[in-house]
C-alpha cells in the first residue's frame, strides 16, 4: 500500500467509505426522498476580537420539529490552534472532524512539521466535497466555520464553506445555521456602526456579544437553543489566541450571562 504523505489517500486505499459516498436503498421511499428527519445542529458564529478569534454555537440539535437534545457540542477541537464549528448534520460533521484531526496528526508525524494553513483549508474542502451525495439528498449537509490562529501572520483567521466545499475567508465575523439570518445583519451593523469594531473588543466584551447574538437567534429561530436555567446549559464557546485553543469555562459563561443578558436592575453592563 503506497499512500504517499496523504492521510486521505491512506484511508481510501484501506477501503474506508467516506460519509455520504452512498446511501442504502432501504433509506429511500418510492419517490426517492428520505423517509425520516435527520438530526441537525443550528446556529454557530465566529468573530475576530482583539486577542484572536472567538467561536461559539448553541447546544440544540433537532430532527424536524422535535428537539433531540440541548447538549450537542458544535465547536470541535481540531488541533492546538484550530477549531471547527458545525451547522447541519452532527453525525457527518463529527466524522469529518475526526478525519481532519487525524489528517493533521498524520502529516505532522510523517513530515515532522505542521501542515500549512492552505493545506488544512484544502483538506476540509475535500472532505465536504466527498460528502456532496449526502448533502444533495438533503440528509447530511454540513456547513462549517473553520477558525485558526495563523502564527505566521500573528492574527486569528475565520473561514467558512458552502455545501460544495468552496472556502472563503471572513476578516471580521461569520455565522451560519438556521438562526444566522436573524443575526447576520445585526453583526454587520454592530461591527460597522456599533461604536467599537469587533477587532477592538477585549475577551469579556467579545464573549458578552457572542452570548447576546446567540440569545437573539434563539428568539427568532425555534431550532436554536438558549440558556437553560433549570439545567444550567450554556452555549459552547472557545477562543483561539497566540497561546493556542482555549475553552470558556462554565463559570465564565455564567458570569457573562448574568452581566450581558440578564443583568440586575441596578447594574450597568
Residues marked active site are found at: 42
Non-local CB neighbours of 116 within 8 Å, separated by 6+ positions: none
Cell 436592575 belongs to 265
SS (H, E, C) 13-37: HCCCCCCCCCCCHHHCCCCCCCCCC
Cell triple for residue 3?
A: 499512500
Q: Please, are residues 238 and 247 in contact by the beta-carbon 8 Å criterion? A: yes
Element (H, E) at 87: strand 82-88
Work out the angle at residue 100's Cα, subtended by the Cα atoms of residues 99 and 101, and round it to the nearest 5 degrees. Answer: 90
- Residue ranges of alpha helices (H) inside 50-166 are 90-111, 117-130, 132-136
Cell triple for residue 14?
A: 484501506
Amino acid at each position: 500500500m503506497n499512500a504517499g504523505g496523504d492521510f486521505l489517500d491512506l484511508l481510501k486505499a484501506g477501503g474506508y467509505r467516506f460519509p455520504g459516498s452512498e446511501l442504502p436503498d432501504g433509506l429511500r421511499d418510492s419517490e426517492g426522498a428520505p423517509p425520516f428527519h435527520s438530526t441537525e445542529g443550528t446556529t454557530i458564529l465566529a468573530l475576530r476580537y482583539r486577542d484572536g478569534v472567538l467561536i461559539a454555537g448553541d447546544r440544540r440539535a433537532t430532527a424536524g420539529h422535535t428537539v433531540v437534545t440541548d447538549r450537542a457540542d458544535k465547536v470541535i477541537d481540531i488541533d492546538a490552534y484550530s477549531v471547527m464549528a458545525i451547522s447541519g448534520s452532527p453525525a457527518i460533521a463529527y466524522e469529518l472532524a475526526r478525519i481532519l484531526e487525524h489528517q493533521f496528526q498524520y502529516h505532522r508525524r510523517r513530515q515532522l512539521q505542521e501542515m500549512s494553513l492552505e493545506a488544512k483549508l484544502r483538506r476540509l474542502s475535500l472532505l465536504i466535497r466527498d460528502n456532496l451525495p449526502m448533502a444533495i439528498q438533503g440528509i447530511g449537509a454540513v456547513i462549517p466555520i473553520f477558525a485558526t490562529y495563523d502564527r505566521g501572520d500573528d492574527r486569528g483567521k475565520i473561514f467558512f464553506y458552502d455545501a460544495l466545499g468552496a472556502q472563503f475567508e471572513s476578516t471580521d465575523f461569520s455565522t451560519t445555521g438556521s438562526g444566522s439570518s436573524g443575526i447576520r445583519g445585526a453583526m454587520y451593523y454592530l461591527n460597522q456602526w456599533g461604536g467599537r469594531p469587533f477587532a477592538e473588543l477585549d475577551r469579556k466584551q467579545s464573549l458578552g456579544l457572542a452570548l447576546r447574538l446567540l440569545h437573539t437567534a434563539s428568539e427568532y429561530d425555534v431550532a436554536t437553543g438558549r440558556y437553560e436555567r433549570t439545567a444550567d446549559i450554556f452555549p459552547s464557546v472557545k477562543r483561539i489566541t497566540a497561546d493556542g485553543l482555549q475553552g470558556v469555562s462554565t463559570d465564565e459563561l455564567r458570569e457573562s450571562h448574568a452581566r450581558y443578558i440578564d443583568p440586575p436592575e441596578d447594574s450597568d453592563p
